[in-house]
Amino acid sequence: MTRLTELHRINHKIKQSDRVISSKYQCIKTAEKTKTKKQTKIPSLCIALCSALTRLNFIPFSSEENMSTSPTPYADEKFKTGSAVFEGVTGQSAQAFVTAFDDVAPGFGRYIIEWEFGDLYSRPGLDLRYREVAIIASCATLGVIGHAALKMHILVALRAGLTKNEIGEILMQVAFAAGLPTAIGAIGVAREAFSEFSV
């Protein structure tokens, strides 16, 4: 199949999916008018969207037979790069990080290493200090669900040369966007990370 033919096929499928999704959305919109206020529209829309995309084969892992657990050569290279970056910035074993997820979500730790550290951390444009400022602020705004990642990235930031005072300032700034309780929780996480940090 030529590249042009493949593009035409994909364009046709996109148009099909637009029609199916639009139709599903209209049905959901009509049905939502009869639901109580406590019910949410989002799950219904997500289900319709996933259903439509699956029928049109837009979701690559829509069935067990399509799922592949073996990494591609590209993924192997990203994992190798990501592992080196992860170990360099955290001072921890990438394999231990990956293994920590295997009992509940096998392969998830590997995806994090490949994507976050193999792709994003390897991009030019920001040095490690700036990356960590962005990640610390983002994780802090997530509240308690971001605390584990926040602690890890505070330790990485300290290794990268950010000072405790700079990290404190970042977390105080979070209060204006995410609220005082969120910032107070993040400051507590920072306190733990500071006590564990050793050069």
Mean pLDDT of 181-198: 94
Assess whether pLDDT exceeds 50 at residue 155: yes
Mean pLDDT of 170-174: 95
Q: What pLDDT does residue 32 have?
A: 53
CB 48 within 8 Å of CB 55:
no
- Inter-CA distances, 104 with 98, 109, 166, 195, Å: 11, 11, 36, 29
Mean pLDDT of 33-53: 51
pTM comes to 0.62
Assess whether pLDDT exceeds 80 at residue 188: yes
Burial pattern 154-170, b for ≥16 Cβ within 10 A else e, equals bbbbbbbebeeebbeeb
What whole-number distance in Å separates Cα of residue 193 and Cα of residue 132? Answer: 14
| Lowest mean per-residue pLDDT among 64-78, 102-116, 142-156, 170-184 | 64-78
Q: What pLDDT does residue 63 have?
A: 43
Q: What pLDDT does residue 152 have?
A: 94
Phi–psi pair at 35, nearest 5 degrees: -85, 160
pLDDT tens digits for range 117-153: 999 998 888 999 999 999 999 999 999 999 999 999 9
In which residue are the tokens 């829309």 written? 45
Q: Which residue has the higher pLDDT, 152 or 20?
A: 152
Assess whether pLDDT exceeds 80 at residue 11: no
% of the chain residues with pLDDT over 90:
56
Continuous H helices in 33-127: 42-55, 73-90, 94-99, 108-112
